[in-house]
Structure 1
């Protein structure tokens, strides 16, 4: 995420069309829903209508689409015809889940597309298409149920792109909820990128970065395990975790108190509860975790339980590293893990009142 003090700098670079900022940031324009390069020739938006992003992926996940004038993902002087062709194909049908057959229809080799996108944008084509699809679907979560009801009443039918996207993410469109248990889902903007929070009226069930690989499957498993329908909205636990995350990122909080609902096996829950005992700024290894819970040979199972955690940051699986000191894996990405560990080391314990 762009730091607050850089926003005026980037806005001035946008006004001046400074080419040296190409690749440094992208700007999303709230009034048009597009994101642009710093040198875009279009009329400049007001500062308050701008959102700044370090990567195109962040802009896509925030529901912005590529500008047709500056073509931030397919500028002819910067990328190949293949990349331009694929970006155009995604914009024609952003909700499509790409298969080998889709690539064959437009005479594109899937492995070539993967390599070229990875080299140019730091993400594969499938990741790009998924980010675009997720951004569109989660846009409606961020805007709230009233917007979704308006969309439905405005003419969306069961086969529409919106309803299909919503169903893929949340399991069922609001009109089909019936008497099932209801969980609320809300978009939370954080310093490290957007997150999605899912809760009922009593506890938080899921907190993840929206670009986490496999997030759709996580939500699907949650929906089936709880036999719930997940709809856009808010609840007391979501409001609570939103406040606590703000305090955490500002360095004012080291312990989360939002009630949690842990959905896992007894072993997984034991691992997660142990994770919560690791002090901020401290790290441990999978082997040390296994010993701490009385299962010294179960370090691989501990690692798997770590990976199954659906409550990022709150259950601090980022505090577990390899025995040799390497960061090891993290669902939110190693750069975020490194940032979280550095941030927690810098947090001073809040003064006692």
Structure 2
């Protein structure tokens, strides 16, 4: 559903007052006086109609600069049937799912696709496919043959497997099985799968697997070391995984690892300045440009921010629009909102990303 598909405000406001479950997942209300958006079924007191703005997706609410309600949690809750499906995926990540499998569980594939796209930034079948490819990468790193990793990942076609792997990493699987100047690993986080590229001294890349620029960034790194990127882990990879674990559980909002992203001199300046923004704080693009002594270079700062190849550790999610709204984030606005919320909770001794209460 798009904005133009929504009914008039009177109809949606009546649904809000009635807490009508028929609109669950199909429309959300953003309240301009509080800066918060909710499900129409939210139990909180209802705002005046003149203060309501209705949107068809969570992404639209986040793009408008609204924060998710803590009572109805529009970012985190799924239909029980969808939650069971997610649990099944986590229990058996190697399973090859089809639309027929979803229908056999009483689920409508199109409804499921919209729900997962809204909550996770990718479809359920896309999520399952990414998990299988990540498992294939781990098998290749362990020395398995490409054909064995392909079949275990549920790909009958060798060409299909090569194409899917190349879209994800920028390299065909055979080009990643040998030792190279850099080492790539697949990591799992509460916000989805990530690809980490490290050498023996620093983190060179950290991206969510569905990031469209991932393949291009992998290819650029490979060219920089005049050779292919190998699959495996280094001591830096182990340290990175441990620090990410502390970050997502709210134990620490900071990182100590050395970083070595590939970029121009200006991009490096922007990325260094991003790391000076304290966890839980945000800064506008214009303010960062001013800090760099280039107040007229707002667009260049935004471009450098978008080109950041090391997510989270170089906190490009801490930059916001001039009006305070959450603006573009390569990993998805829903992730940006959750990362900022997590850091603020960590600094205040609040809750982790998984909702575990932290000690003050």
- TM interval, shorter chain, is 0.5 to 0.7
Name the SS for the 2:192 alignment partner.
coil
The 1:150/1:302 distance shift into structure 2, 3 A limit, reads closer
Q: Is the 8 A contact 1:181 1:227 kept in 2?
A: no
Distance 1:168 1:67 in 2: 21
Residue of 122, 127, 141 corresponding to 2:117: 122
Residue of 145, 150, 166 corresponding to 1:149: 145
1:226: how far off? 3.6
1:169: how far off? 3.9
Name the SS for the 2:299 alignment partner.
helix
Q: Is the 8 A contact 1:204 1:237 kept in 2?
A: yes
The 1:65/1:170 distance shift into structure 2, 3 A limit, reads same
Cα deviation code 1:204-244 (max 9, x no counterpart): 11111112233223323332344331232101111111000
Distance 1:347 1:257 in 2: 17
Q: Is the 8 A contact 1:169 1:219 kept in 2?
A: no
TM score, norm. by length of structure 2: 0.63
Q: Is the 8 A contact 2:182 2:198 kept in 1?
A: yes
Cα deviation code 1:107-156 (max 9, x no counterpart): xxxxxxxxx88657537xxx657656544332222345225337469999
Cα deviation code 1:289-312 (max 9, x no counterpart): 000000001011101100000111
Name the SS for the 2:132 alignment partner.
helix
2:91 is aligned to: 50
Distance 1:132 1:185 in 2: 20
The 1:27/1:285 distance shift into structure 2, 3 A limit, reads closer
The alignment's C-alpha RMSD in Å is 3.7
Q: Any gaps of 5 or more consecutive residues in structure 2?
A: 1-78, 350-360
The 1:334/1:288 distance shift into structure 2, 3 A limit, reads same
Q: Is the 8 A contact 1:170 1:219 kept in 2?
A: yes
2:81 is aligned to: 22
Distance 1:154 1:270 in 2: 41
Aligned residues: 266
2:221 is aligned to: 222
1:346: how far off? 1.6
The 1:346/1:163 distance shift into structure 2, 3 A limit, reads same
1:340 is aligned to: 339
Cα deviation code 1:170-217 (max 9, x no counterpart): 455575579984321111111222211111122111111112233223
Q: Any gaps of 5 or more consecutive residues in structure 1?
A: 1-19, 30-34, 36-48, 52-61, 84-115
Distance 2:305 2:223 in 1: 21
TM score, norm. by length of structure 1: 0.64
The 1:235/1:345 distance shift into structure 2, 3 A limit, reads same
Once the two structures are superposed, the pairs formed by residues 68-147 of structure 1 within 5 Å of their partners are 71-72=101-102, 74=103, 79=108, 119=114, 122=117, 134-147=130-143
Distance 2:323 2:84 in 1: 35
The 1:179/1:327 distance shift into structure 2, 3 A limit, reads closer
Distance 1:153 1:245 in 2: 27
Distance 2:335 2:80 in 1: 23
Decide which moves more: 145-154 or 336-345. Answer: 145-154
